[in-house]
Amino acid sequence: MFLVALLFATSSSPIAAPAPCGLFELLNRESAPLSAQPQTGPQNQPQDGSEKETRNQGPEDTRNLKGDSEVSDLPPGVVARIGDKVITLEEYKEELFRLNAYGPLGDMIHRRLLDAEARRLQLKVTEDQLEAAWTQEWAMMLARSHGNTDEVMSNLDSLGYTKERYQAQYFIGQLATMQENLIIKKLRIPTEEQLRTQFDFAYGLDGEKVVLRHLMLNRSRTKSALQAKGTPPELLTNMHLDRAMDAKAKELMIRVAEGEEFDTLCRAESHDLSVNQNAGVIPGYNFKHYGEAIASAVHAASIGEVVGPVTGASGLHLLKVESRVMTKFEDVRELLFVELKAKEASYAERAALTGRLFRETKVERR
């Protein structure tokens, strides 16, 4: 992948040009309509040498991929010299095309198709949006190196990049990603099923959203506790464990009735370790945790009341509904529509867009 990137960094691709200022000038060639793009074969090279002059930007363009060869000026159109033999840019491009087949070419065609579709829909990615994305990307790169700029630059150098060249390549990929997102959001029409699914997710199943706290007792932890007390194996059957759990649940309900705080009991007594840090609150409870018996009990419970024990698939539960909010689908349907339209494009949507663009456009490759 990086080898291919270096090909374009040495050629007339926008990756070869500095990007901190006037970045859209860098992308002009990349984003021009298919019909307006010059071909890259030798028969279409400019005769006045202007493009070749652009390629030979200086020592950074001619360094060895490992960065350990002598750096010197080379004639236009030459990317390397080995003794008295040279490797021309055209030889380099042909070799990379032979080795990498249609992968990079397909990516380039894909970007052109995206650009054409964005133009058709009158959608535009602004320079400020790309600059903001780059600022975030650079901050992440620095964070991975604990703020050490020299380390980031060294890493880029080891891959054959300057910061400017990496930034320019990032802009090209990010432009395509942003164009995909804009196109998909523009054309997306949420279905009734999608609206209902989002409604259940955001407002609770059928519009009932609760905050549920529970204390659970299960056989495994009960057995461990009994074994620690020296209980003989013949008294550790499932029947004995169920009796012990039932007795413990009744004891806990008495303690609640006597005024002990339920959240304190959840921390001290619950066998559900996954929610102990939440004092028994089940994050995002939506009537699908622990089975139908628990869901039915939650529907029926009054706010603030501790109910149980209720038998679920995982053991016995004591339940407390801390809050309940009821919402009608019709009241939020329009809001849900807007929210779904604004969601970031999924992988499946991006793949579908790519497939459609290639199907709808005649693309010929050598």
pLDDT tens per residue across span 76-116: 999 899 988 999 999 988 887 777 766 788 888 999 999 99
Instruction: Tell whether 254 and 353 lie within a shared domain.
Output: no
Average pLDDT of the residues of the chain = 82
Residue 37 scores a pLDDT above 50: no
- How distant is the alpha carbon of residue 361 from its chain centre? 29
User: Do 343 and 317 share a structural domain?
Assistant: no
Structurally, the chain folds into a number of domains equal to: 3
Q: Do 45 and 169 have their domain in common?
A: yes
**Range(s) of the domain holding residue 225:** 205-326
The string of pLDDT tens digits covering residues 158-182 is: 999 999 999 999 999 999 999 999 9
User: Do 166 and 232 share a structural domain?
Assistant: no
Query: Strand locations in 149-246, DSSP E?
Result: 208-217
Q: Do residues 340 and 314 share a domain?
A: no
Same domain assignment for residues 150 and 33: yes
Residue 168 sits in the same domain as residue 31: yes
Q: How far is CA 323 from CA 42, 215, 344, in A?
A: 72, 17, 31
Task: Quote the CA–CA distance of 245 and 225 in Å, as a whole number.
Answer: 11
- pLDDT of 26 over the 70 cut: no
Q: Are residues 78 and 58 in the same domain?
A: yes
Q: Is the same domain home to 268 and 222?
A: yes
Pick from 201, 215, 205, 200: nearest CA to 299: 205
- In whole angstroms, give the CA distance from residue 332 to residue 309: 36
Distances (CA, A) of 15 to 25, 134, 165: 11, 15, 6
Contact 1, 149 (CB under 8 A): no
Which backbone phi and psi does 204 adopt, to 5 degrees?
Answer: 90, 155
